[in-house]
């Protein structure tokens, strides 16, 4: 791996200084907060996408006109599109999490890859959604920092897992089939990465990883983009334990997951989503022992209820995560599905006085 300089050494130094001093707080769920606004199709579309397609773009370059033949697609649920059509809402969510005490906020770009955007026929928006998503988070962090310059706030540029799985077939009768290739994933991630960097992300996070091969494609693409730019950002990695046996969808335990990805020399390794704090504890415990980098956890607000919602209260979630911190397991902590600014405020308060995990010095692997 080439030794590239940091693209912004002062920001990286501020991040490391903060990590040495305390447990840093990541924000909570974006989707849960968007749901509170009960948005309708027209909200998602705004003016630019009023017809269900992009008024500013056609694949063959034609000028849209009545009868041009373009067909709209429903956009409700395309939360990342709100970065363009309802930036006020996304900005407000970032501000609420910063007010609650988050040191790091995640961009609204979980599905901003060509693979996920193709579901809405908007794959041409990858660069723009990532750039603007990072820019909104950057503005919110800069505003919070301006109010309290002693406390730096960081933008995490989020790269989600996509809906495709590179190492497994979606068809049990055709185990050799793949719905996506490594190269296709890498290409998609590279474009997203470029946008996040252009928009001003401080760090990148490959998160909610259910398939380690997808994550490898993302990390490969990120490295390519860093090399092309001649500078790098710190990279966080966060996997998802999806099954009761304590494995990712592609079959790895937390320990195997770390050893598959440690070559990327991430800023942090951690776990998020699928489980609540209680269920996640044993797996974070393993990472805290085996990883010689920072450890992060941003669990869901408990396990989903019968309606797919999350019921764990801010107090309960914060008490569980305080237990993680008291055991010396955490460097970064936040919330995933179902968590809100109330949860993040309770978590920030619960871990605020506790020491961050000391990174173990491990024997160099052969
Ligand atoms: Zn048209
Ligand atoms: Zn989640």
Could you read off the pLDDT of 143-187 as tens digits, one per residue?
A: 999 999 999 999 999 999 998 988 888 898 998 999 899 999 999
CA of 64 from ligand 1 middle (Å) equals 4
Give me ligand 1 centre to Cα 58, in Å.
6
Q: pLDDT above 70 covers what percent of the chain?
A: 99
Query: Residue 314 above 70 pLDDT?
Result: yes
For residues 130 and 179, is the Cβ–Cβ distance under 8 A? Answer: no
Please tell me the number of the ligand nearest to residue 67's CA.
1
Distance 207 CA to ligand 2 centre (A): 10
Q: Which ligand is nearest to the CA of 53?
A: 1
Give the model's confidence band at 2: pLDDT under 50 very low, under 70 low, under 90 confident, else very high.
low
Model confidence at 245, pLDDT cuts 50, 70, 90, reads confident
Mean pLDDT of the chain: 95
**Sheet strands (E) in the chain:** 24-25, 104-106, 154-159, 203-209, 235-239, 268-276, 294-300, 332-333
Q: Which of 75, 83, 84, 82 is nearest to 56 (CA)?
A: 84
Which pLDDT belongs to residue 3?
Answer: 87
CB-CB contact of 134 with 149 (8 Å): no
Q: Summarize the confidence of residues 320-330 as an average pLDDT.
A: 98
Query: Residue 16: pLDDT above 80?
Result: yes
**Residue 357 alpha carbon to ligand 2 centre in Å:** 24
Ligand nearest to the CA of 302: 2
Q: How far is the CA of 126 from the centre of ligand 1 (A)?
A: 20
Average pLDDT over residues 50-72: 94
Q: How far is the CA of 223 from the centre of ligand 2 (A)?
A: 26
Per-residue pLDDT at 365 exceeds 70: no
Tell me the mean pLDDT in the region 6-19.
Answer: 98
H-type alpha helices, 31-79: 31-35, 41-45
State the maximum Cα–Cα separation within the chain, in Å, rounded to a whole number.
68
- What pTM, to 2 d.p., does this model score? 0.96
Q: How far is the CA of 63 from the centre of ligand 1 (A)?
A: 6
Q: Determine the distance separating the centroid of ligand 1 and the alpha carbon of 129, expressed in angstroms.
A: 21
Ligand nearest to the backbone CA of 51: 1
Q: Distance from the CA of 52 to the center of ligand 1, in angstroms?
A: 11
Q: Which of 79, 74, 73 is nearest to 39 (CA)?
A: 79
Q: Given a cut of 60, is residue 1 above it in pLDDT?
A: no
Residue 363 predicted with pLDDT over 80: no
Nearest ligand, CA 59: 1
Which helix H or strand E contains 325, and what residues bound it?
Answer: helix 314-326
164's CB contacts (< 8 A; 6+ apart) are 115, 179, 180, 185, 214
Instruction: Note the ligand closest to the C-alpha atom of 160.
Output: 2
- Overall average pLDDT of the 189-215 stretch: 97
What distance in angstroms lies between residue 64's CA and the mean position of ligand 2's atoms? Answer: 38
Cα-to-centroid distance, 48 and ligand 2 (Å)? 30
Mean pLDDT, residues 222-245 taken together: 95
Distance (angstroms) between ligand 2 centre and the Cα of 343 equals: 14
pLDDT, residue 168, reads 86
């Amino acid at each position: 791996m080439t030794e590239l300089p940091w693209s912004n050494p002062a920001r990286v130094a501020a991040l490391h200084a903060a990590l040495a001093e305390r447990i840093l707080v990541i924000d909570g769920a974006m989707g849960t907060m968007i749901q509170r606004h009960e948005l309708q199709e027209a909200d998602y579309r705004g003016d630019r996408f009023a017809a269900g397609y992009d008024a500013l773009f056609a694949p063959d370059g034609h000028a849209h006109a009545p009868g041009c033949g373009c067909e709209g697609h429903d956009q409700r649920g395309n939360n990342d599109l709100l970065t363009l059509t309802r930036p006020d809402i996304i900005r407000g969510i970032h501000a609420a999490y910063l007010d609650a005490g988050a040191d790091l906020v995640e961009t609204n770009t979980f599905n901003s890859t060509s693979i996920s955007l193709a579901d809405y026929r908007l794959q041409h928006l990858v660069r723009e959604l990532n750039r603007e998503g990072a820019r909104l988070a950057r503005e919110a962090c800069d505003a919070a920092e301006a109010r309290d310059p002693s406390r730096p706030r960081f933008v995490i540029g989020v790269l989600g897992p996509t809906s495709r799985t590179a190492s497994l077939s979606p068809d049990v009768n055709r185990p050799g089939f793949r719905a996506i290739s490594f190269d296709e994933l890498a290409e998609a991630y590279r474009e997203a990465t470029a946008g996040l960097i252009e928009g001003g992300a401080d760090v990148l996070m490959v998160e909610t990883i259910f398939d380690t091969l997808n994550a490898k494609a993302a990390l490969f693409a990120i490295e390519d983009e860093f090399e092309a730019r001649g500078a790098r950002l710190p990279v966080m990695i966060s996997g998802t334990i999806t099954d009761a046996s304590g494995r990712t969808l592609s079959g790895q335990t937390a320990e195997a997951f770390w050893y598959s990805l440690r070559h990327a020399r991430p800023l942090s390794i951690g776990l998020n989503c699928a489980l609540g704090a209680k269920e996640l504890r044993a797996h974070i415990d393993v990472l805290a022992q085996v990883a010689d980098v920072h450890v992060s956890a941003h669990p869901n607000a408990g396990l989903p209820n019968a309606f797919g919602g999350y019921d764990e209260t801010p107090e309960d979630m914060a008490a569980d995560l305080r237990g993680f911190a008291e055991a010396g397991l955490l460097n970064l902590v936040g919330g995933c599905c179902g968590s809100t600014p109330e949860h993040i405020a309770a978590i920030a308060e619960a871990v605020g006085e506790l020491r961050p995990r000391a990174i173990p010095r491990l024997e160099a692997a052969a």
